[in-house]
């Protein structure tokens, strides 16, 4: 029972880390207006530094995935795959999920079926799991148990930061990117749930 409570507590921490930082950001912006010019200048400088990688990724179509995930992705059998697997004009689904999350465990089998169907049909599509479990073992157990044939960001990738970057406030969440790494659909979960594999044609 204590172990179960500990798991629930750690799960709530992950949920909060995805959503609570959004409200913290708003509070920081409100406070910034009352700070000194020096503090305001520092904030603008930081924003400019964050904008530079984004601009660079827009000019180099092949770099956005490496900037986001690093040089390697992983499969459920723990083998590493070069991030270049995301090339070839594929649409990419970023799947934010975790085993401890009941809605995730309900939606994942649906997504697995859609993914397998798109692969059978030869559609240029790939999914990258951004797993929000607390341990690497839990991530691979989740992938293996659900027979996820897609790729995943390594456990040491900045997974929470990626979730924040794409505005993820709750999971499961499926965000669809084009081959240049630009968001083309934010409610992939709803699209897949209502349309199945046919959702691909509207992305």
- Greater confidence (19 vs 16) lies with 16
pLDDT of residue 15: 41
Q: 187 by DSSP, 3-state: which? A: coil
Q: Classify residue 88 as left (phi > 0), alpha (psi -120 to 50) or beta.
A: left
Q: What is the mean pLDDT of the chain?
A: 79
Residues comprising the chain, all counted: 203
pLDDT of residue 61: 53
What distance in Å separates the CA atoms of residue 1 and residue 4, rounded to the nearest whole number? Answer: 5
How many domains is the chain partitioned into structurally?
1
pLDDT digits (tens, 9 = 90+) for 96-136: 999 999 999 999 999 999 999 999 999 999 999 999 999 99
Query: Among candidates 8, 5, 20, 163, which has minimal Cα distance to 100?
Result: 8
pLDDT digits (tens, 9 = 90+) for 29-60: 333 343 334 444 444 444 444 444 443 334 34
CATH code at position 97? 3.40.30.10
Domain region containing 6: 2-202
What distance in Å separates the CA atoms of residue 76 and residue 94, rounded to the nearest whole number? Answer: 16
């Amino acid at each position: 029972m204590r172990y179960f409570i500990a798991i629930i507590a750690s799960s709530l921490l992950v949920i909060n880390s995805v959503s609570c930082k959004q409200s913290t950001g708003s509070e920081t912006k409100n406070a910034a207006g009352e700070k000194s010019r020096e503090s305001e200048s520092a904030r603008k400088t930081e924003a400019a530094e964050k904008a530079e990688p984004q601009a660079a990724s827009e000019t180099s179509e092949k770099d956005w995935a490496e900037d986001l995930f690093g040089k390697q992705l992983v499969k459920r059998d723990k083998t590493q795959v070069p991030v270049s697997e995301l090339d070839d004009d594929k649409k990419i689904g970023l799947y934010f999920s975790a085993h401890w999350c009941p809605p995730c465990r309900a939606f994942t089998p649906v997504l697995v079926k859609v993914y397998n169907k798109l692969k059978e049909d030869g559609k240029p599509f790939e999914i990258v799991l951004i797993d929000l479990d607390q341990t690497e073992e839990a991530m691979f157990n989740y992938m293996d148990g659900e027979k996820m044939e897609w790729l995943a960001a390594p456990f040491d990738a900045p997974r929470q930061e990626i979730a924040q970057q794409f505005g993820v406030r709750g999971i499961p969440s499926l965000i669809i990117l084009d081959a240049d790494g630009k968001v083309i659909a934010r409610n992939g979960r709803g699209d897949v749930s209502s349309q199945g594999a046919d959702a691909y044609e509207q992305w």
